């Protein structure tokens, strides 16, 4: 995995006018802040289509929806798939403030998302660089390009602020 804050977009040729990719981590971080304001664990996600347009953005809503699967990534993927009328999002890029958990990593793979950018590592609940390492399994049929550590400190600061002295971490 490579950390890259401003890297030329390799796959943006689909949109002729889009030569460089534009980081959406700012928007993902605002979704995370909004989640914290709702009393949810501050994690945010933004999905962009092959032309770089934002097609979905979401923050955690597990408490609000009484749904343990309502992670930011899942909500963004569901919204984008519903809008696209497809269960797959080829060429799409997902920006998430925290390393996705195994459930979200599996959904990212199933949706055929092309590139995953994430912020802070999550040694406790993460499933990309830690724990289950979902994309590294032979059973994983689609592995996105992965870039970690983007605005990681901003993401970690939000989580620290939310969990305070307990330092519970995770989701
Ligand atoms: Zn998750």
Q: Which residue has the tokens 């534009």?
A: 22
Residue 15 has pLDDT above 90, yes or no: no
Q: What is the pLDDT of residue 42?
A: 97
Q: What is the pLDDT of residue 69?
A: 98
Compute the distance from residue 13 Cα to the ligand 1 centre, in Å. Answer: 30
Q: What is the pLDDT of residues 83-141, one digit of tens each?
A: 999 999 999 999 999 999 999 999 999 999 999 999 999 999 999 999 999 999 999 99
CA 117/CA 151 separation, integer angstroms = 10
Q: Considering the entire predicted model, what is its pTM? A: 0.84
Task: State the helix-helix crossing angle for 72-84 and 102-110, rounded to 10 degrees.
Answer: 20
Q: What is the pLDDT of residues 156-169, one digit of tens each?
A: 999 999 998 455 54
Task: Choose among 158, 169, 127: nearest CA to 42.
Answer: 158
Compute the distance from residue 71 Cα to the ligand 1 centre, in Å. Answer: 5
Compute the distance from residue 107 Cα to the ligand 1 centre, in Å. Answer: 9
For the chain, the average pLDDT equals 88
Beta strands (DSSP E) in 2-153 are 44-48, 54-59, 93-98, 115-120, 145-147
Residue 13 has pLDDT above 50, yes or no: no
Which is more confident, 102 or 5? Answer: 102
Catalytic residues: 73
């Amino acid at each position: 995995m490579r950390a890259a804050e401003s890297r030329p977009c390799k796959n943006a040729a689909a949109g002729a006018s889009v030569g460089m990719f534009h980081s959406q981590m700012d928007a993902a971080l605002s979704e995370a802040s909004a989640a914290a304001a709702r009393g949810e664990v501050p994690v945010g996600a933004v999905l962009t289509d092959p032309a770089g347009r934002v097609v979905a953005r979401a923050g955690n809503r597990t408490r609000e929806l009484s749904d343990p699967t309502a992670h930011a990534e899942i909500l963004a993927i569901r919204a984008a798939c519903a809008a696209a009328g497809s269960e797959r999002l080829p060429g799409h890029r997902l920006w998430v403030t925290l390393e996705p958990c195994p459930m979200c990593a599996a959904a990212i793979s199933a949706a055929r998302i092309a590139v995953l950018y994430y912020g802070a590592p999550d040694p406790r609940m993460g499933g990309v660089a830690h724990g289950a390492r979902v994309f590294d399994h032979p059973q994983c049929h689609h592995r996105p390009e992965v870039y970690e550590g983007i605005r990681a400190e901003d993401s970690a600061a939000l989580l620290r602020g939310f969990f305070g002295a307990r330092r519970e971490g995770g989701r």
